[in-house]
Amino acid sequence: MILKTRPHLTQNEPLLFESSSPGKKGYQLPPLDVPAVDPKTVLGAEHVRDEIEGFPEVSEVETIRHFTRLSTWNYAIDLGLYPLGSCTMKYNPRVNELVARTEALAWAHPYQPESLSQGAMEIMAELERCLAEITGMDAVTLQPAAGAHGEMTGIMLIRSLLEKRGDARKKILIPDSAHGTNPATAHMCGYAVQNIPSNARGLVDVELLEKAMDETVAGLMITNPNTLGVFEENIVEITKIVHAKGGLVYMDGANMNALVGIARPGDFGVDVMHLNLHKTFSTPHGGGGPGSGAVAVKKHLEPFLPYPRMKREGDQWAFNYDLPESIGKVRAFYGNFGVLVRALAYIMAHGGDGLRRATMDAVLNANYIRKMLEPYYDLPYKAPSMHECVFSDDRQAKKGVRTGDIAKRLIDYGFHPYTVSFPLIVHGALMIEPTETEGKREIDLFVEALISIAEEVDEDPQLVLGAPYLTRTSRVDEVTAARKPIVRWRPQAAVGKAAD
């Protein structure tokens, strides 16, 4: 069997527990030249930790090599493309890191007085101004810590405004092409959810929306471009339908990577939206955070924004807590500050023209991939793609190969898999987003890998069904792993005994 891959050979890595030998030390010091003392006598027994039972005893070089080898097992944006659609996993320029690690910013304490925080506050104020201009909105809060947190904040703002009008209403309309967190957000904020199906082109069905929109509906949560990577071309008509019945429009801005510098949501009728600064504005993404789900609003929602808000008092910035209509704090302090610094650095480095070019490059890259792969994978929706494209596994499924199998085989080619089986309105989805930071060479290698896998499916489906071959762990039983996870280390003999 010949594997057409980019192989990387690594030795098996034992656990430190398995490398342990009694008496080994991770340091080397000269003999004591002073009398030895018992730490418990000097420090007190209550301040001295007992020896950790079974703690590994290894040398310094073994320790260094162990963790260095483990670090090479991690896939990272510094190594290659992350084609995860709807996630915008793009390269974070190192100048952003340099700025964020500036000593005066990195060591700023959230409890220090306003008089000593003027530089940090200026950064936040400038970022709010830039984001408002980019989105076409009137005000921005930087408090929310992530996208779903921004969604919740946005729907809380809508609810507060409607309550002030005397009717919080009962439900939120959500297209089936919206991000998966949207229904959960609406439910958490006390609303029932009504699904709006897409039409044959993958767009919101305007006629169905019009029938569903009545005086019980608080608003619409729409993702634009939607999870198919398609721009909702009827967005102005959609917002008018919602507004005509007294509802508000929330836009999930996680896909702003396709709009920045090209279109402003505020200009086509959106009342409130969130931005993922850890996606669109290139701060580090993944690994559980930190992130930022900044929320931008039109003027009628501004009084309800989380407090405090920044205001100018003479030549100084100050925090204003006197906001009687505010929904209150949604997070401790004022947002994930390091993420905010990186986002502003990204915006300032690009400028308006650069942000527009980045968007155009993202759209170009996605459409290039779409064009190259169309002869090999089914494309269920034919509307023009924006920053991502969504294929299905229909052709390969006829040979018994599904999207998860293709993704596992892609690992053998040295690439991180695309987003598997999402969006749910595409059965067997392959969702691909290259972002603007990928060059043609890397994209061509990725495309060649997927074409090669499609050819493998035609010639020998079993080859793909057995993948991955070059990973340290072969294909796992995912059902058993989910139902019976082993979450703590046990000696190999005990593992074998349990398996018996």
In this predicted structure, the answer to whether residue 27 has a pLDDT above a threshold of 60 is: yes
CA-CA distances (angstroms) from residue 455 to 372, 399, 460? 14, 12, 8
Three-state secondary-structure class, residue 448 = helix
> In the predicted model, what is the mean pLDDT of residues 404-421?
96
Using one digit for the tens of pLDDT, what is the confidence trace for 275-314?
999 899 988 776 556 889 999 999 999 999 999 999 999 9
* Degrees to nearest 5, angle at CA 475 with 473 and 480: 105
Report the DSSP beta bridge partners of residue 420. Answer: 430
> In the predicted model, what is the mean pLDDT of residues 347-355?
96
Question: 477 falls in which pLDDT band (50, 70, 90)?
Answer: confident
Is the previous residue joined to 423 through a cis bond, with omega within 30 degrees of 0? yes
> In the predicted model, what is the mean pLDDT of residues 430-441?
96
Using one digit for the tens of pLDDT, what is the confidence trace for 204-257?
999 999 999 999 999 999 999 999 999 999 999 999 999 999 999 999 999 999
* Degrees to nearest 5, angle at CA 91 with 90 and 97: 130
User: What pLDDT score does 14 carry?
Assistant: 87
User: What pLDDT score does 305 carry?
Assistant: 98
In this predicted structure, the answer to whether residue 378 has a pLDDT above a threshold of 80 is: yes
Residue 160 phi, psi dihedral angles, 5° rounding: -65, -45
Question: 267 falls in which pLDDT band (50, 70, 90)?
Answer: very high
Structure-token pair, residue 15? 């656990």
> In the predicted model, what is the mean pLDDT of residues 149-164?
97
> In the predicted model, what is the mean pLDDT of residues 489-493?
55
| Of 158, 179, 176, nearest in space to 271 by CA | 158
In this predicted structure, the answer to whether residue 495 has a pLDDT above a threshold of 60 is: no
Question: 320 falls in which pLDDT band (50, 70, 90)?
Answer: very high
User: What pLDDT score does 72 carry?
Assistant: 82
In this predicted structure, the answer to whether residue 487 has a pLDDT above a threshold of 80 is: no
Architecture of domain 360-481: Alpha-Beta Complex (3.90)
The angle that helices 118-135 and 337-373 make with each other, rounded to 10 degrees, is 30
* Structure-model confidence comparison of residues 73 and 131, the more confident one: 131
| Of 294, 289, 298, 292, nearest in space to 306 by CA | 294
In this predicted structure, the answer to whether residue 8 has a pLDDT above a threshold of 70 is: no
pTM of the full structure? 0.87
What is the CATH code of the structural domain delimited by 94-349? 3.40.640.10
In this predicted structure, the answer to whether residue 75 has a pLDDT above a threshold of 90 is: no
| Of 474, 477, 373, nearest in space to 431 by CA | 373
Backbone φ/ψ region at 330: left (φ over 0), alpha (ψ -120 to 50), beta: alpha
Domain map (residue ranges) of the chain: 94-349, 360-481
In this predicted structure, the answer to whether residue 70 has a pLDDT above a threshold of 90 is: no
Q: How far is CA 262 from the centre of its chain?
A: 22
In this predicted structure, the answer to whether residue 500 has a pLDDT above a threshold of 50 is: no
Q: How far is 295 from 326, CA to CA, in rounded Å?
A: 14
> Which residue, chain included where needed, has tokens 């505010």?
326
> What one-character DSSP code corresponds to residue 335?
B
In this predicted structure, the answer to whether residue 131 has a pLDDT above a threshold of 90 is: yes
Mean pLDDT, the chain, integer: 92
Question: 497 falls in which pLDDT band (50, 70, 90)?
Answer: very low
Percent of the chain with pLDDT over 70: 95
In this predicted structure, the answer to whether residue 1 has a pLDDT above a threshold of 50 is: no
> In the predicted model, what is the mean pLDDT of residues 347-351?
96
Q: How far is 352 from 307, CA to CA, in rounded Å?
A: 30
| Of 123-137, 163-177, 448-462, 476-490, minimum mean pLDDT range | 476-490
Residues 6+ apart with CB under 8 A from 139: 128, 132, 296, 297, 299, 301, 302, 305
Q: How far is 186 from 163, CA to CA, in rounded Å?
A: 16
